[in-house]
Structure 1
Amino acid sequence: MKKLFFCFLLLMTIRAMGQTKVGGLVIDESGEPVAFANVLFKGSTEGTITNDNGGFYLESDNNYNVLVISFIGYETKEIELAGKVNYDLKISLLEAAEQLNEVVLISGKQSKKNNPAVDILRKIWAKKRQNGIRKFDQYAFDKYEKVEFDLNTIDSALMKRKIFKGLEFVFQDLDTSRITGKTYLPIFLNETFSKVYGDNVINEEKEEVLGNKNSGFENNQAIIAFVQDLYQSYDIYDNYLKFFDKSFTSPLSRTGIDTYNYALRDSAFIDNKWCYNIVYYPRRKNELTFKGDFWVNDSTWAIKNINLEVTKSANINWVKEIYIEQDFEVVNDSLFLLKRDYMLSDFSFQKKEKSRGVYGKRTTVYDNYEFDKQKPRDFYKKDLNPLDINLIVKDDEFWQKNRLESLNKDEAGIYKLLDTLKTVPKFKSYYNLVSILGSGYVEIDKWNLDIGTIYDFFGYNQAEGPRVRIGARTYRGQNDMWRLEGYAAYGFTDRKMKHGLSGKFLIEPKTRFIISGGNRRDIEQLGVSLTATRDVLGRSVASSSLLTVGANNRLTNINLSALNFEVEPITNFRVSLGGTFRTLSSALPNEFSLDYIDPESPTGISSEIRQFDFNTLLIYTPGKKTIGFGVERRDVNDTYSTLLLNYTKGMEGVLGSDFNYQKLQFSYSQPWQLGGFGRLLSTVELGKTFGEVPLGLLSVVPGNQTFFSNYGTFPNLDFYEFVTDTYASVHLEHNFNGRLFSRIPFLRKLNLREIVGLRGVWGNLSDENIALSTPATINTPLRAPSEKIYYEYSFGVGNIFKIFRLDFNFRGNYLDNPNARPFGVTGTFGFNF
């Protein structure tokens, strides 16, 4: 999803007018910018807060003549507005001897004690679980959502670029953002109407999507998945709000008083309810925080209106602005219900004020609330295919009836604009380029075929030398019921062809009964994962790295055939049954051996393993969200845990199979979002092999001789340094997301992120298995970490130049092993928020 986003943003970088628009800069007497100053239209509750550099932009559909600017410790200033549009204002505030009379305000850094705003905040905490839909046993409501993307900061220089030659008509109608004051051009719109049902007693919720419409990208599942992943739901009463893989401290959080300054600014009647207005802004820079204000009722202590704007110093990449507004409807004396939720994100490669980018805007409107209408528990059983696009794409009559907020002329024009653009060859070329970079495939529509992926075209390993690979797959649409895929590869050193072919077929959509199978003949690096599933076309680590630490010569020739049956009887619970037949041999027999004692061989030793295995695999992923209903689906979140149980039965004699054994493996992976302290990823793996098997069928502790950080491996272990038939391992990796570095002045502006890791493994290897593989020990000593737990720890620095991460890895013990590596540096690069 991230790759698609940055390709989309790169291409985009190469419409109801408001009645009053103002923008400018607020400074103090010395000319320094005043951050977080309050800017309001006089006689209204419409306002904003200056950014870190003192800048502001404010827009209203109403006519106003006076602008009011205030801030704690300064005299309030009123500015007469000369016209409807007033840009480039420069407003100087004078230091105040006394504060406003209406409320008690505290100058400077806000105190946590004797602060009326903090007292109100504590009352909000006490009541927050009694407000809104939480007050009722059951609830239901209509939900309308529109997501829009706009190209922003459009000027004459951009319009005259060669890239837009022949596309000038798209700039005929431009509008100005009421949040940032920048011109923008809508380029994508997606609308969804649904009915939401919930039960607070059994803690269940179900959303039925009744209608969906988007502007020309209905067949691009990758874009739709990216949009859903980008804009997930949140609750402002929660302690932390998650956006773009980051946890921001909510201004209503119980930890808020340690993170924000709060001040009581005003009080007024809103919808006949007396409300207090509280402004907040962060105590420190470079943390994941907001600035803004909210109105709260004085009896229910329910939020009436809130706006949140991410500070520019927040440690987040590629996002220049995030702005959120929520409005709550007063239903009766004690009930405030969410009416409208608006979120704007300004995506850009730079955070400079004039840098171009793409707006992502989501508007969600709620209506027709109903309460205490109980439904049976089975009603909340989730549909395995919740987004069958063919069933929910509706006509204009449906949208005229069910849009809870009308489209303005610019939004409505997107559909017409995209229909026109799709007929322009130049636009189709740009769109195809983004699609290729995002998916890795070159689409050939007339053949229903994709060529790729382009990212697997070139590789290198010690056995093959340089190698090239070209592949293809059938592709009629994102919801295909079947898929065929294959590749061919050639090594320039061994001068051998390799290939892979697979097919998968969705037989029964309701339970997702899938039959799959295929064959691969290639060179592979075994032992890079303890509990990896056997993917017929999996990309081998053997050909993914040009440089390695030490001699990477322990490579295996593999000829794998597989047939598999999979079903999903319960949402996110998959059961898989299948069989595999493998032939294994060393790809470099003079340097690496898989030999084992074979009494039936004329020499008493065999160098090739022929093995048929029967596999049973159970995978449970609670909380996982997907889209699509074809044979392949896409994940749209990464917050779910994964529990895997794998049973393998080796069957001697079947198809000439050599060994009879059993293997039982379990793994549990869990991401932990620890609020403002970052994200912890944990994995536990257990396994045992019953029976005597040679080296090629044992469980190898996954080493890593590449220079790339790879979670789940031990970067200071060589391949095959430890081999086991019984093992237990733990991997822990915590990303503090810059929380520690933000407190160090000379590091603060670099927005670096600190990562710590700890991993360990214990394993055992029976004497019988060691004896069986005695011939292989000539160049591959068989040892297991049975004396004590082998462990490593690491310290990493991420977000270097926004794309690089370096990990410094330390080996904790077993330093007397031959060629043991006590220290190593690995790294990765990529686009991360």
Structure 2
Amino acid sequence: MLFAQTKVGGKIKDSNGEVLPFVNVIFNKSTEGTTSNENGKFYLQSDASYSELKVSFLGYKTKIIPLQEKVNLEMEIVLQEEAESLGEVRIVRGKTSKKNNPAIDILRKIWENKRSNGVSAFKQYQYRKYEKLEFDLNEIDSTVIENPIFNGMEFIFEYADTNKFSGSTYLPVFINESVYKVYGDNEMNQKREDLVGNKNSGFEQNQNLIAAVKGIYDEYNVYNNYIKVFDKSFVSPLSTTGINNYNYVLSDSAYIDDKWCYNIIYYPRRENELTFKGDFWVNDTTWAVKDINLEASRDANINWVNDLYIEQEFKVLNDSLFLMTRDYFQANFTLFKKEDARGVYAKRTQVFDEYKFNEKKDRSFYTKRQYNFNEDVYSRDQDFWAENRLEKLNDEEEGIYTMLDSLTNVSAFNRIYDIATFFESGYVEFNGWDFGPAYSMFDYNEVEGFRLRLGARTYFGQHDPWRIEGYVAYGFRDETYKYGISGKWLLDPKSRLIISGGRRNDIEQLGSSLTNSTDVLGRSLASSGLVSVGDNNKLSNLELSTFNLSINPWYNFKFRIGASYREISSASPEFSLDYYTNESRTTTASTIKQAEISTMLTYTPGRETTGFGVERSVNNEDEFPTFFVNYSLGLKNVLNSDFDYKKLQFFYNQPLLIGGFGRATASLEAGKTFGEVPLGLLNVVPGNQTFFAMYNSFPVLDFYEFVTDTYVSAHFNHNFNGRFFARIPLLRELNLRELVGVRAVWGEISEENKRLDASGLTLRAPSKEPYFEYNVGVGNILRFLSFKAHFRGNYRNIPDSRNFAFTAAFGFHF
């Protein structure tokens, strides 16, 4: 085991034996330090050699402690109170005063001289960024080392080290290094990152794993009022509203880079809120923050995270500009909130240099990206890393490459990796094929009875230029096989020109969404009769064949043109899709045969993806808006098709972070069908007769309760992230989250389309006034479950209609 040159740790108390939280602990005559936690514990390490430790806190005598050894753990430090009172600001724990508090006076100076981030102060900017990502198994002790699961892998524990924040022993299991050239234009609001070098251990080119860590922590400005981490808005300690959320204490002062600076400690005023604790150094003339440490409160309402640390260092250019030079992030992922719970450290270090400004580039530089997979980027030599590694690896990090190269040859480790991959994706990997997903193997509905589904897809790597995917299903009641198969081929990586096609023959719940597409393996809903409300037998037989051509003329802008042919008929004797075939309404048909061509435009500004193949993974699924337009043309008599029509559809979805009030999602859908079409081609307002949440559906509506050919629909859902529950003592410890929502739809159906229908259903549309529902709920129950109660707002006179619904949703969220 390798050690840094100086390590200290222990507990700090006052003369009465009470633990002292948030005490300033630094190596004497340095700026390397930390603060004690809520229990008075601290740990600090440095690669430098120090002989003294300085412990200080307002209202107590500063203590200089000689360090007899390089490693001094389990120290017990007692601080004595100052003989003279410091007046109103002599408060060391609990709530500090907002008046006559020198720390808050300094904070107001920071607000008055608010820094501008250097890259946002110029028209254009560019810089080099070195990024290091690392995963570590933590709390390594003898019980872990002796666990049979590590048989044959005992050598890995020779690479264990001590975490510089917690003092716990950890084992590095993955490291990834990247070098980027970053370009931005503030006038055009454009940004581009080019990966110029990448090196990792253990999992070659696994960009999905890398993106998982990058996605949880956005770049941010600490001078902003809120800091987004884990898709949540934490109140910044430099926020103009910070005095309502934090206690501030002026702790120390010292010269840093020949500038006199003040050290301010801050900690939360209330428990369970999305706040930090830590300290920052600020210059006494420019009032610019030199460096800042942020540690999320252990009781903050975040799932699966025990500890969270952030460090940032800045270079002040002048009285109004600063540039970030280093950014460090560390999260401890665990299943339990216990202090010594075992888990995984995820760490990210970013170092920035080579800043350049006001070098203008054409808009096409940002909107037309290169999508080609450059293998050279992943095989840079040692000279490249010697020049571009802006922060030297320590001995333990250097050893990860050697250790993991050996580990990937151990069969026991590969078995563990395969199991973890299965639970994450639901697929089993075998010789270039993925079999699954396991989560859709079993189902039940009133037509098929119990249903068994087996699927597979090709997968030779994340940059595969082509992919084939399919499934076979069997219903034990109707004794019928169903299937679906699709294929995609990337013809041109630069423009992402892709051809695709496929065929599907299956049971489907039509009307499960307003904005529909003709993807062969798209959303399939044959609702479960085991957990449904009322009669749920309105299922259809669908035979669908498609061919599509898509291209990305600009970054995150996709244009697709496609052709499809489908045959639709009822799958249940209790349900009909019949329509009249003559003007006198004397003859009917039960099967709809329809050819269609469509053009689709999709724009997703701000979306970040991983991979260069025919399919890419989205890194920031819940962060960017989506705009979608679809124009479809029905072609009568082509392949014996039955109808001519034109259909125009629009969809817009917008995630919203509303400061400290949580996260919301708003969406708008609109559409119109021009021409006469039967029930199977109309737009059904998506009801939901199950007890499970369905995206953009109306849980109090039954299937086919409203049918339209013209519609406008809006949805709004908000998660307060526990803002109010955190203030209720009996609920505070449960980390529950408040959920509210409202949805509405207006639509109409023409008399011509009503006359065409022979199904026997009552075709009605919410045309007199928009139909609306609202809901309230509680989320984060047991950290993975949420419940919502839904209430019908109007149209209560519809026969057999429901006025109330209850849905549940499962998911693992931070």
Q: Same fold (TM over 0.5)?
A: yes
Question: Are residue 631 (structure 1) and residue 617 (structure 2) matched?
Answer: no
% identical equivalent positions:
57
Structure 1 residues 152-187: Cα deviation after superposition (integer angstroms, max 9, x where no partner): 100011111111111111112311011110101110
How do 1:347-386 and structure 2 match up within 5 A?
347-385=333-371
1:158 to 129, 141, 144: 144
Find 1:116's aligned residue among 74, 81, 102: 102
> 2: CA distance between counterparts of 1:224 and 1:425?
24
Q: 1:262: which partner in 2? A: 248
Amino acid at match of 1:797: V
Farther-moved stretch of structure 1 (452-461 vs 180-189): 452-461
The structure-2 alpha-carbon separation of the partners of 1:671 and 1:332, relative to structure 1 and needing over 3 Å to count, comes to closer
User: In structure 1, how many angstroms separate the alpha carbons of the residues matched to 2:585 and 2:671?
Assistant: 34
Q: 1:29 to 1:16 in 2, by over 3 A?
A: same
CA distance in 2, matches of 1:212, 1:250: 32
TM-aligned CA deviation for residue 151 of structure 1: 0.6
Letter in 2 for 1:560: L
Partner of 1:660: 644
CA distance in 2 between partners of 1:224 and 1:458 (Å): 32
Q: 1:196 aligns to what?
A: 182
With over 3 angstroms needed to count, the CA separation of the structure-2 counterparts of 1:385 and 1:118, relative to structure 1, is: farther
Q: Which amino acid aligns with 2:165?
A: I
Kept in 2: contact 1:646–1:664 (CA 8 A): yes
Kept in 2, the 8 Å contact 1:143–1:366? The answer is: yes
> Quick one: distance in 2 between partners of 1:397 and 1:449?
38
Q: Does 1:829 align with 2:814?
A: no
**What is the aligned counterpart of 2:714 among 727, 730, 736?**
730
Letter in 1 for 2:595: F
The reply to whether residue 460 of structure 1 matches residue 444 of structure 2 is yes
Q: Is the 8 A contact 2:315 2:323 kept in 1?
A: yes
Question: CA contact under 8 A between 1:562 and 1:580: conserved in structure 2?
Answer: yes
Aligned partners of 1:355 and 1:61: how far apart in 2? 27
C-alpha spacing 1:180/1:809, structure 2 compared with 1 (3 Å): same
Specify whether residues 390 and 662 from structure 1 end up closer, same or farther in structure 2 by C-alpha distance, changes over 3 A only: farther
Secondary structure of the residue that 1:234 maps to in structure 2? coil
Give the superposition deviation at 1:24. Answer: 2.3
- In structure 1, give the amino acid aligned to 2:385: W
- AA partner of residue 749 (structure 1): E
**Aligned equivalents of 1:684, 1:136: Cα separation in 2:** 36
Choose which of 473, 495, 499 in structure 2 pairs with 1:489: 473
Superposed counterparts of 1:586-605, under 5 Å: 586-589=570-573, 591-599=574-582, 604-605=587-588
TM-score (norm 2): 0.95
Calculate the TM-score normalised by the size of structure 1: 0.93
C-alpha separation in 1, matches of 2:260 and 2:522: 63
Q: Which amino acid aligns with 1:757?
A: G
Q: Quote the residue 2:675 is aligned against.
A: 691
In structure 1, the residue matched to 2:767 is 786
Deviation at 1:79, TM superposition (A): 4.4
> 1:628-668: per-residue Cα shift (whole Å, max 9, x none)?
11110111112100111111111111111111111111111
> Could you tell me how far 1:222 is from its partner in structure 2?
2.8
- In structure 2, C-alpha distance between the alignment counterparts of 1:455 and 1:67, rounded to whole Å: 55
Q: Deviations over 1:2-45 (max 9, x none)?
A: xxxxxxxxxxxxx7622322222334566554332322333332
Q: CA deviation at 1:696?
A: 0.7
Task: State the alpha-carbon separation in 2 of the partners of residues 365 and 223 from structure 1.
Answer: 21
Task: Work out which of the residue numbers 469, 491, 502 in structure 1 matches 2:453.
Answer: 469
Look up the match of 2:662: 678
Distance 1:755 1:384, change over 3 A: farther
Give the Å deviation of 1:669: 0.6
Per-residue deviation at 1:771? 1.6
Match of 2:430 among 436, 444, 467: 444
> Is the CA contact (8 Å cut-off) linking 1:504 and 1:514 kept in structure 2?
yes
Q: 2:568 aligns with which of 584, 608, 616?
A: 584
2:312 is aligned, of 326, 335, 340, to 326
SS where residue 277 of structure 1 aligns?
Answer: strand
- Whichever residue aligns with residue 600 of structure 2, its letter is L
Does residue 234 (structure 1) correspond to residue 220 (structure 2)? The answer is yes
Letter in 1 for 2:605: P
Aligned runs of 1:123-522 on 2, under 5 Å?
Answer: 123-130=109-116, 132-329=118-315, 336-385=322-371, 388-389=374-375, 391-445=377-431, 448-522=432-506
Indicate if the aligned counterparts of 1:209 and 1:387 stay in contact, CA closer than 8 A.
Answer: no
Deviates more, 1:45-54 or 1:510-519: 45-54
Aligned to 2:748: 764
What amino acid maps onto 1:767 in structure 2? E
| CA drift at 1:82 | 4.5
Tell me the amino acid that sits aligned with residue 454 of structure 2.
Answer: I
Give the stretch that moved more between structures: 250-259 or 556-565.
Answer: 250-259
How many residue pairs get aligned? The number is 812
**CA–CA separation in structure 1 for the residues paired with 2:363 and 2:501:** 38
Query: Counterpart of 2:540?
Result: 556
Q: Structure 2: how far apart are the matches of 1:449 and 1:611? A: 34
Is 79-88 or 648-657 further displaced after alignment?
79-88
Cα gap change, 1:130/1:290 in structure 2, threshold over 3 Å: closer, same or farther? same
- The CA deviation at 1:559 is 0.3
Is the CA contact (8 Å cut-off) linking 1:52 and 1:311 kept in structure 2? no
Shift of 1:249: 1.2
Q: CA deviation at 1:831?
A: 1.1
Change (3 A) 1:602 1:282: closer
Contact 1:640 1:671 in 2 (8 A): yes
Q: Kindly indicate whether residue 604 of structure 2 is the aligned counterpart of residue 616 of structure 1.
A: no
Given the alignment, which residue of 708, 712, 719 partners 2:703? 719
Matched residue of 1:324: which SS? strand
Task: Please list the CA deviations of residues 785-806 of structure 1 after superposition, one character each: whole Å capped at 9, or x if unmatched.
Answer: 1122111111111111111111
Distance in 1, matches of 2:320 and 2:234, equals 29
Conserved 8 A contact 1:105-1:265:
no
Contact 1:693 1:769 in 2 (8 A): yes
Q: Which moved more, 1:409-418 or 1:381-390?
A: 381-390
Q: Secondary structure at the match of 2:639?
A: helix
Q: Which stretch shifts more, 386-395 or 145-154? A: 386-395
Cα distance change, pair 518–380 in 1 and its aligned pair in 2 (3 A): closer
In the TM superposition, residue 815 of structure 1 has moved relative to its aligned partner by 1.7
**Cα separation, 1, equivalents of 2:558 and 2:177:** 32
| Preserved contact between residue 212 and residue 389 of structure 1 (Cα < 8 Å) | no
Indicate if the aligned counterparts of 1:104 and 1:264 stay in contact, CA closer than 8 A: no
Q: Provide the C-alpha distance between the structure 2 equivalents of 1:756 and 1:149, rounded to a whole number of angstroms.
A: 36
Note the C-alpha offset of 1:308. Answer: 0.6
1:819 to 782, 785, 800: 800
Quick one: structure 1 residues 201 and 562, their matched pair in 2 at CA, closer, same or farther if it must change by over 3 Å? Answer: closer
Aligned-partner SS, 2:759? helix
Contact 2:726 2:735 in 1 (8 A): yes
- Larger mean Cα displacement after TM superposition, 184-193 or 473-482: 473-482
Aligned with 1:50 (options 36, 48, 70) = 36
Matched, 1:741 2:722: no
Q: How many angstroms apart in 1 are the aligned matches of 2:384 and 2:414?
A: 30
User: Kindly tell me: are residues 709 and 35 of structure 1, through their superposed partners in 2, closer, same or farther at Cα, counting changes over 3 Å?
Assistant: farther
Distance 1:552 1:92 in 2: 70
| Local SS of the residue matching 2:110 | helix
Q: CA offsets per residue over residues 566-589 of structure 1, 9 Å max, x none?
A: 111011111111111110111102
For 2:419, what is the secondary structure of its paired residue?
helix
Distance 1:545 1:416 in 2: 54
Alpha-carbon contact 1:75-1:99 (below 8 Å) kept: no
- Closer, same or farther: CA 379–538 of 1 in aligned 2, 3 Å: closer
CA distance in 2 between partners of 1:312 and 1:382 (Å): 44
Residues 89 and 96, structure 2, Cα contact 8 Å, conserved in 1: no
